[in-house]
Structure 1
Amino acid sequence: MTNPSSLVTREATVPCRVNLIGEWIDFNGGTVLPMALAPSATVQITANGTALDGIKSTNFAVSQNFAIDAPAEDHWSDYVRGALQYARSRNWIESGQDVSVESTIPVGAGLSSSAAIIVATLKAASSGLADVDGEALAFAAKEIENNFIGVPCGIMDQMAVALGEPGTVLALDTRDCSYALLDLPEAWSVVVIHSGVRRALSDGRYRVRRDQCLEAAATLGVDYLCEASLLSIDALDAPLLNRARHAVSEAARSRDAIAALRTGDRSKFGRLMNESHDSLREDMAVSTPEIDQLVCDAVSLGADGARITGAGFGGCIVALVEPERVETWWNALKLRHPSIERII
């Protein structure tokens, strides 16, 4: 049994992320462009020498205890407990842990608060282990989301929060997880806005669309749906046709967006963001009327581009705006949508 008095508190802080473009293709073999943001999750862990994990958060009033091998309960603490169970299985930690979570990431906003909390917990648990790097933490976090939480997500969110730094864009090829960190041009301002529409991925809609994408790939005989061509997908019936059309076109948009980012072509990047939102609304059917109107107004008031970000069904939009116009633009948008909140 671990002697709690001989151990110190270990802490790790991990940022959240916004996906600039490349939505719903991280498990379809596409390239994605997430960017790390300043809002973050900080996790502190201290061994308590018992068979219980005691978990508290500054965002919730109640501190709760859980058996160290208890299954997920559709509770916010599942992300911490899944990470602790994984860490114990790798002998990174022993016995139960007292855990404190402090997060400035809006929950249910599509900014990967769950991935940030999982990675932060794993990072704290593996502190001092030379053979556990950011990529290893990302793959572990994905395994936890898939197998403990029950969300069949891809690898984008975990890689983005484990490797990214605020102000840099991660160009990630999800087929082989090769990546490049690219600086955001000085003449670009990315604004992230919470729509006020709460979202959740555990209600089944994410899984349905993911399964449809995988079924479309299997029907077409390709390993990844993004490898298909627009011509070949015509053999599919709706809704598989719609899902495939989004994946193939979004993969192309992501490639074009990387080129625009490298050359500083803000106008082209913004246009690709608008096209991405149209596809997410029509072919993936993951937007909402409130967010569609917010995106429309964001562009009409002067943004180069705007789109829903994350898996959808609510949450945030991301907009690309000329730096000198950001405050005027934001004030005008806030007048039309008083309930929205600016994240960055």
Structure 2
Amino acid sequence: MSAQEAIPVFTNLNDLYGSLGTSLNHAERWSNLAEEFEKRFGKKPAYIARAPGRVNLIGEHIDYALFGVLPAAIERDILIACAPRDVPASSPTAETHHAPGSVIAENLHPKYTRQVFAPAPKAKPADVDDEVHIEGWHLDIPQELRWENYVKAGYYGVLEEHFTGPAAHPIPVDLLVTGSVPAGSGLSSSAAMVVASTLAFLAINGKLEGADKVAKGGLVKMSMENEKRVGVNSGGMDQAASVMSVPSSVLYITFYPSLTASPHAAARQVLLPAPHPHANNHPGGAVLVCAHSLKVSDKALTAKRGYNLRVVETLVGARALARTLGVSVGPREKITYREVVGRLVAETDVGKGGEGMSVDALMEVLARMEAAVEQLKPPGSTHAEFGATMGEMVAMSGLSAEEFHEVYMSWVEVDATHFKLYKRAKHVYSEALRVLQFRKLCLDTAAAGASASADGNLAALKQLGELMNESQTSCAGDFECSCEELDQLTQLARDAGAYGSRLTGAGWGGCTVSLVPESEVESFIKKVSETYPPYKGLEGDALSEVIFATRPSTGACGASYFS
């Protein structure tokens, strides 16, 4: 799997649908979207962009600490049909939809109204010479939970990256959006929306071919920056999973020193072990079942006390831990927990051509960090629950109050009186180790191949489930990103026969993911639906919207429209 690979653009329905799985009627959805686009805009779409949601099997809130994660794209997705809009030269540009690069965006869901907007080049300062080109665009993107703001965020990144010349003008475009990823579910509907929007604007403006062609890695990086414009500081897992996933596989994605396709920092296939389907007394393979707690989780809405606060606690904790361990940190450097362990063992600088630690060496040093993080317990306190005050945290960082604010607080808004550096560090290091243990189990059973016994593969699935359960315990107790509904739903899933169950996504609501024997999916869903109180009375399509099985799907792609 390579960040340099081209984003696939299909021209054949069979090729496209053959890679997307079978749990949804994809052909019907795409056909309905194209037909509705033609009804509304009087022309066929030139391109349909697809970006899937994702489920993270294990590795929660450690991507921005630069540790690896194990997500997979799901079959549910965001689709955006689009086509250039002809604007006659005589059209009055004072009308927004006639302006250069203007967008008319509609949504198939009736509760979302038509949106019309256009970017404007930033004004050149009066004291700048006329021959000097000032780059940049203005596009109003309020940090509000409105669907069109995610579309605007995708557009803005394309403008800033690809329309910087004095004669460069984006093409006016018509868009029609639909989606099957439940919003606020923890399955990254927002990331899928930003990825699909970014992909649609790239495609319409010819940036998926020729010298300016954007590859998968470029789309990931653009989408990460674009989502920040709606108020979410993302570590990149959601976007990478949505873009770089491949069918039938879980991805091992690392971010140190960057997202690249190298032996030590790659997005690679990790197949789930499957017991032999015809072995006596053994089920077939395992599938993933996503279940919405029906408590809506939105990172942008709760960021000050949730996601963004955890980012700050994690970064400050890394600096404080580095100081206690005698690890060198620059005065303005936001060191991460991954960089702390690298410097602790004098890891060869992978950013300068070094090979870095092997996975086995990283597992060994992570196992040692459980004792090291004890030094982050609040000064003078025997109870880590209360955390450190702002003043105590500043002192632990070794910075002045002014320096601390500039490095850690000036770029993000948080709302807290106490900061739980110890508990967050404990989760990050233990979760990073669980990811590598999960990956090793998958790779070991895959390497055994046909020689593996049914008992051995079944034992591996049970161990994977235990790691997922341990992750849920850590998310709930140490990172405090679970909630009563998620705790209840994961326990009910285990009672219903899951090998393991945990929250997925940022937490504080949203979805769980359970590893379930394929042969027991129907009975599993029935048991959960009968025992989880918020599912009472749901059946048919209403039930399948909140709990559904999925196989790992392909990443972002598109189709040139064809009849």
TM-score band by shorter chain is over 0.9
Q: CA deviation at 1:61?
A: 3.7
Q: Which residue of 2 aligns with 1:28?
A: 65
Q: Which residue of 2 aligns with 1:81?
A: 152
Distance 1:7 1:309 in 2: 38
Q: Which residue of 2 aligns with 1:195?
A: 293
Distance 2:162 2:493 in 1: 49
Q: Which residue of 1 aligns with 2:218?
A: 136
Q: Which residue of 1 aligns with 2:54?
A: 17
Residue pairs, 1:89-238, within 5 angstroms: 89-91=160-162, 94-127=170-203, 128-130=208-210, 131-146=213-228, 148-175=229-256, 176-177=258-259, 178-186=266-274, 187-202=285-300, 203=302, 204=304, 205-221=306-322, 223-226=335-338, 227-228=340-341, 229-236=369-376, 237=378, 238=387
The alignment's TM-score, normalised by the length of structure 2, stands at: 0.58
Per-residue CA deviation, residues 195-219 of structure 1 (Å, 9 max, x unaligned), is 1110111122210111100110111
Distance 1:19 1:172 in 2: 11
In 2, are the aligned partners of 1:53 and 1:97 still within 8 Å (CA)? yes
Question: 1:36 is matched by which residue type in structure 2?
Answer: A
Per-residue CA deviation, residues 115-160 of structure 1 (Å, 9 max, x unaligned), is 11211122222233253111110100001112x1121110111110
Q: CA deviation at 1:8?
A: 6.5
Distance 2:53 2:372 in 1: 37
Question: 1:198 is matched by which residue type in structure 2?
Answer: V
Secondary structure of 1:320's aligned partner: strand
Distance 2:225 2:105 in 1: 21
Question: 1:248 is matched by which residue type in structure 2?
Answer: Y
Secondary structure of 1:20's aligned partner: strand
In 2, are the aligned partners of 1:28 and 1:213 still within 8 Å (CA)? yes
In 2, are the aligned partners of 1:10 and 1:125 still within 8 Å (CA)? no
Q: Which residue of 1 aligns with 2:411?
A: none
Q: Which residue of 2 aligns with 1:337?
A: 532
* Shift in CA distance, 119/61, structure 1 to aligned 2, threshold 3 Å: closer
In 2, are the aligned partners of 1:58 and 1:101 still within 8 Å (CA)? yes
Q: CA deviation at 1:46?
A: 2.7
Matched, 1:72 2:151: no
Distance 1:312 1:81 in 2: 26
Secondary structure of 2:370's aligned partner: coil
Q: Which moved more, 1:304-313 or 1:184-193?
A: 184-193
In 2, are the aligned partners of 1:274 and 1:307 still within 8 Å (CA)? yes
Distance 2:45 2:514 in 1: 43
Q: Which residue of 2 aligns with 1:58?
A: 108
Matched, 1:39 2:76: yes
Q: Which moved more, 1:319-328 or 1:33-42?
A: 319-328
Secondary structure of 2:299's aligned partner: coil
Distance 1:7 1:109 in 2: 32
Question: 1:225 is matched by which residue type in structure 2?
Answer: Y
In 1, are the aligned partners of 2:244 and 2:267 still within 8 Å (CA)? no
Q: CA deviation at 1:96?
A: 3.8
Per-residue CA deviation, residues 227-279 of structure 1 (Å, 9 max, x unaligned), is 55222211112310000000000000000000122225111110000000000
Secondary structure of 2:79's aligned partner: strand
Q: Which moved more, 1:18-27 or 1:43-52?
A: 43-52
Q: CA deviation at 1:67?
A: 3.5
Question: 1:120 is matched by which residue type in structure 2?
Answer: A
Q: CA deviation at 1:339?
A: 3.1
The count of corresponding residues between Structure 1 and Structure 2 is 340
Q: Which moved more, 1:224-233 or 1:253-262?
A: 224-233
Distance 2:161 2:434 in 1: 39
Secondary structure of 1:339's aligned partner: helix
In 2, are the aligned partners of 1:194 and 1:343 still within 8 Å (CA)? no
Q: CA deviation at 1:330?
A: 1.6
Secondary structure of 1:98's aligned partner: strand
* Shift in CA distance, 7/334, structure 1 to aligned 2, threshold 3 Å: closer
In 1, are the aligned partners of 2:270 and 2:439 still within 8 Å (CA)? no
Q: CA deviation at 1:179?
A: 1.8
Q: CA deviation at 1:42?
A: 0.9
Distance 1:135 1:117 in 2: 17
Q: Which residue of 2 aligns with 1:247?
A: 428
* Shift in CA distance, 298/7, structure 1 to aligned 2, threshold 3 Å: closer
Secondary structure of 1:27's aligned partner: helix
Distance 1:121 1:129 in 2: 17
In 2, are the aligned partners of 1:41 and 1:120 still within 8 Å (CA)? yes
* Shift in CA distance, 7/319, structure 1 to aligned 2, threshold 3 Å: closer
RMSD: 2.2
Consecutive unaligned residues of structure 2, counting only runs of 5 or more, are 1-40, 88-97, 120-137, 164-168, 260-265, 275-284, 328-334, 342-368, 379-386, 388-419, 446-456, 536-545, 550-563
* Shift in CA distance, 61/121, structure 1 to aligned 2, threshold 3 Å: closer
Distance 1:230 1:71 in 2: 46
Q: CA deviation at 1:166?
A: 4.2
Question: 2:116 is matched by which residue type in structure 1?
Answer: N
Q: CA deviation at 1:6?
A: 12
Q: CA deviation at 1:78?
A: 1.1
Secondary structure of 1:84's aligned partner: helix
Secondary structure of 2:294's aligned partner: coil
Distance 2:308 2:112 in 1: 31
Secondary structure of 2:309's aligned partner: helix
Which structure has the highest strand share of the two?
1
Q: Which moved more, 1:119-128 or 1:148-157?
A: 119-128
Distance 1:101 1:173 in 2: 31
* Shift in CA distance, 218/250, structure 1 to aligned 2, threshold 3 Å: same
Q: Which moved more, 1:253-262 or 1:167-176?
A: 167-176
Q: Which moved more, 1:227-236 or 1:37-46?
A: 227-236
In 1, are the aligned partners of 2:290 and 2:512 still within 8 Å (CA)? yes
Distance 2:234 2:151 in 1: 17
Taking only the aligned residue pairs, the percentage that are identical comes to 30
The alignment's TM-score, normalised by the length of structure 1, stands at: 0.93
Distance 1:245 1:329 in 2: 33
Per-residue CA deviation, residues 76-102 of structure 1 (Å, 9 max, x unaligned), is 211111111221233377144322111
